[in-house]
Amino acid sequence: MKITVVGTGYVGLVTGACLSEMGNFVVCLDLDLQKVALLNAGGIPIHEPGLDDIVRRNVAAGRLKFTTNSREALEHGVVQFIAVGTPPDEDGSADLTHVLAAARDIGRYMPSAYTVVVNKSTVPVGTGDKVRQAIADELALRGATASFSVVSNPEFLKEGAAVADFMRPDRIVVGTDSEPALGVMRALYEPFLRNHDRLLSMDIRSAELTKYAANAMLATRISFMNELALLAERLDADIESVRKGIGSDPRIGFSFLYAGCGYGGSCFPKDVKALAKTAQDNNSPLTLLMAVEKVNERQKNVLADKLVARFGPDLKGKTFAVWGLAFKPNTDDMREAPSRSLIENILARGARVRAYDPVADKEARRILGERPGLEIVPNAYEAATGADAVIIVTEWREFRTPDWDQLRALMKSAVVIDGRNLFSPAVVKAQGFEYDAIGRRDTRA
Ligand SMILES: NC(=O)c1ccc[n+]([C@@H]2O[C@H](COP(=O)([O-])OP(=O)(O)OC[C@H]3O[C@@H](n4cnc5c(N)ncnc54)[C@H](O)[C@@H]3O)[C@@H](O)[C@H]2O)c1
């Protein structure tokens, strides 16, 4: 099938690459000249395990192309995906500027043959109608007629496991009121569903809401555990024991039950806000969800609060090692990462930060820039050298078994503050460290 993907970011690039891997001919369009130039030179703009192989193989086979030329891209596809960003507007609602610009571009150049326009961006309920209207307006402007359907096909991939998620999806949600469009979507996804059918078809509005509901549910679990962890600290109970105790109930399950220093990333924070705003606008407020966000905002300060509790509010003259900058492991994405608010807080209190991340160092330099007091260094032990404490912010695997002797010898004082509960408190203490974590028993001095 001939496919166009508008927007070549985390979602668009993975979608385009994985569809080309199944034999489709894919053209990926992006406005970002640098990104497209990098892709055309054989580079990959994001860190995503397994993606570079798929991209290189399919580019070499002539099935995957990247361009900034809208006409070239949009005259190509019988299926046209919209996978552009939907950042939060000032009031928390999803900003549809990019989605509607992409829809107008599609209307400007789409072929006259039947075309399925697939919205993969996360968008509020009702956006399908706006996309349809924007395309129809452009067609009318150029006096053209074309037959097309608009489909909602929200994306559920997880950064860091995006290729695996796309290749072996839990489910594929297709929202459409058109039988022909559903047929096209089934044919497109059939190679990904050979094991058993996991395509769920529904109306467009329900598909749009499903995406927000999924992220809102996951964020709710995290905030619930984070709030419970604070209570566990007061009660001298252990949140890890509680997690195991409730996760083993099959009605609850273990996923997304880890207490930590707050959720981040490009999706949860903005999607929670956008759904809460939709609910408010429709006079049906989601009180629970508003609390989820509030809890997360507080939780993002929990590590700074622990530092202040240990070292006092004035941190001048201190140096802290920050282990992990990405919002989660296996990605270089730092959008809304808890590391960012922590680093701001430490620098504002006059201390120095030596930060390390296995893959997000380049992104960190781009986002944080040159800052007095901030150094991004190439390994975890260099970050810890001379540090008053190591603070764990992202649960990268390489942090799970530190060389405690080396660490103790390098650090100014043997203190670990763990925002991801990576260690058993008894083990760290037996190594001669002071250890504080999130909601752990026996972690405080
Ligand atoms: N990142 C994720 O893990 C994830 C998962 C599921 C859903 N989503 C949703 O998918 C959408 C895309 O997210 P992302 O993380 O890939 O965003 P991103 O910011 O990484 O990429 C978006 C890309 O679209 C390009 N773009 C913007 N307007 C354009 C236009 N008019 N024409 C062509 N290109 C244009 C940008 O230059 C950018 O490269 C969002 O709605 C997001 O909520 C993201």
- Could you report the per-residue pLDDT of 53-73, keeping only the tens digit for each? 999 999 999 999 999 999 999
The average pLDDT across 106-112 equals: 94
Nearest atom (ligand 1) to Cα of 101: 31
Of 30, 158, 268, the one to substitute when testing ligand 1's pocket (max ligand atoms within 8 A of C-beta) is: 30
Task: Specify the range with the lowest mean pLDDT, choosing from 142-146, 222-226, 356-360.
Answer: 142-146
Residues 269 and 364 in one domain: no
Element (H, E) at 415: strand 415-418
* Model confidence at 139: pLDDT above 70: yes
What are the distances in angstroms from CA 294 to CA 262, 298, 419?
11, 6, 18
Report the pLDDT value the prediction gives residue 272, as an integer from 0 to 100.
97
Residues 289 and 324 in one domain: no
Of 11, 46, 156, the one to substitute when testing ligand 1's pocket (max ligand atoms within 8 A of C-beta) is: 11
Give the span between the Cα atoms of 151 and 413, in whole angstroms: 57
Q: Could you tell me the distance, in angstroms and rounded to a whole number, from the CA of residue 86 to the centre of ligand 1?
A: 7
What domain range is 337 assigned to? 300-436
Nearest atom (ligand 1) to Cα of 271: 43
Domain end, chosen from 173, 202, 231, is at 202
Query: Looking at the annotation, which residues are catalytic?
Result: 267
Residues 259 and 304 in one domain: no
101: Cβ below 6 Å to ligand 1? yes
Nearest atom (ligand 1) to Cα of 94: 41
Domain end, chosen from 153, 174, 202, is at 202
Q: Is residue 425 part of a domain?
A: yes
Confidence of residue 145 (pLDDT cuts 50, 70, 90): confident
Residues 137 and 254 in one domain: no
Q: Is residue 414 part of a domain?
A: yes
Nearest atom (ligand 1) to Cα of 266: 1
Residues 195 and 237 in one domain: no
150: Cβ below 6 Å to ligand 1? no
Q: Could you tell me the distance, in angstroms and rounded to a whole number, from the CA of residue 345 to the centre of ligand 1?
A: 29
pTM metric for this prediction: 0.94
* Model confidence at 329: pLDDT above 90: yes
Nearest by Cα to 317 from 342, 351, 354, 355: 351
Protein residue with least CA distance to atom 25, ligand 1: 7
Residues 185 and 146 in one domain: yes
Residues 65 and 185 in one domain: yes
Q: Could you tell me the distance, in angstroms and rounded to a whole number, from the CA of residue 223 to the centre of ligand 1?
A: 26
Q: Is residue 119 part of a domain?
A: yes
Of 28, 84, 95, 334, the one to substitute when testing ligand 1's pocket (max ligand atoms within 8 A of C-beta) is: 84
What are the distances in angstroms from CA 147 to CA 13, 108, 311, 433, 442?
27, 13, 66, 68, 66
Q: How many domains does the chain have?
A: 3
Confidence of residue 195 (pLDDT cuts 50, 70, 90): confident
Q: Which value, to the nearest 10 degrees, does the dihedral of the CA atoms of residues 45, 86, 98, 93 take?
A: -160
Residues 10 and 149 in one domain: yes
Protein residue with least CA distance to atom 4, ligand 1: 11
Q: Could you tell me the distance, in angstroms and rounded to a whole number, from the CA of residue 65 to the centre of ligand 1?
A: 18
Residues 197 and 99 in one domain: yes
Report the pLDDT value the prediction gives residue 160, as an integer from 0 to 100.
93
Protein residue with least CA distance to atom 33, ligand 1: 30
Q: Is residue 406 part of a domain?
A: yes
* Model confidence at 407: pLDDT above 70: yes
Element (H, E) at 391: strand 389-392
What one-character-per-residue DSSP string does 213-240 give? HHHHHHHHHHHHHHHHHHHHHHHT--HH
32: Cβ below 6 Å to ligand 1? yes
The average pLDDT across 294-305 equals: 96
Q: Is residue 441 part of a domain?
A: no
* Model confidence at 204: pLDDT above 90: yes
10: Cβ below 6 Å to ligand 1? yes
Residues 277 and 189 in one domain: no
Greater pLDDT, 219 or 443: 219
Domain end, chosen from 231, 262, 297, is at 297
What are the distances in angstroms from CA 131 to CA 107, 125, 138, 200, 205?
10, 12, 11, 22, 13
Residues 27 and 174 in one domain: yes
pLDDT digits (tens, 9 = 90+) for 70-108: 999 999 999 999 999 999 998 999 999 999 999 999 999
What is the share, in percent, of the chain residues with pLDDT greater than 90?
95
Residues 281 and 324 in one domain: no
CATH code of the domain containing 78: 3.40.50.720
Report the pLDDT value the prediction gives residue 293, as an integer from 0 to 100.
96
Q: Could you tell me the distance, in angstroms and rounded to a whole number, from the CA of residue 8 to the centre of ligand 1?
A: 7
The average pLDDT across 397-426 equals: 97
Q: Could you tell me the distance, in angstroms and rounded to a whole number, from the CA of residue 36 to the centre of ligand 1?
A: 14
Q: Is residue 207 part of a domain?
A: no
Q: Is residue 442 part of a domain?
A: no
* Model confidence at 445: pLDDT above 50: no
Give the span between the Cα atoms of 54 and 97, in whole angstroms: 31
Q: Could you tell me the distance, in angstroms and rounded to a whole number, from the CA of residue 291 to the centre of ligand 1?
A: 27
Confidence of residue 443 (pLDDT cuts 50, 70, 90): low
The stretches of 267-360 forming alpha helices (DSSP H) are 268-281, 287-299, 302-311, 338-348
CATH code of the domain containing 236: 1.10.1040.10
Of 10, 156, 367, the one to substitute when testing ligand 1's pocket (max ligand atoms within 8 A of C-beta) is: 10
Q: Is residue 445 part of a domain?
A: no
* Model confidence at 291: pLDDT above 70: yes
* Model confidence at 211: pLDDT above 60: yes
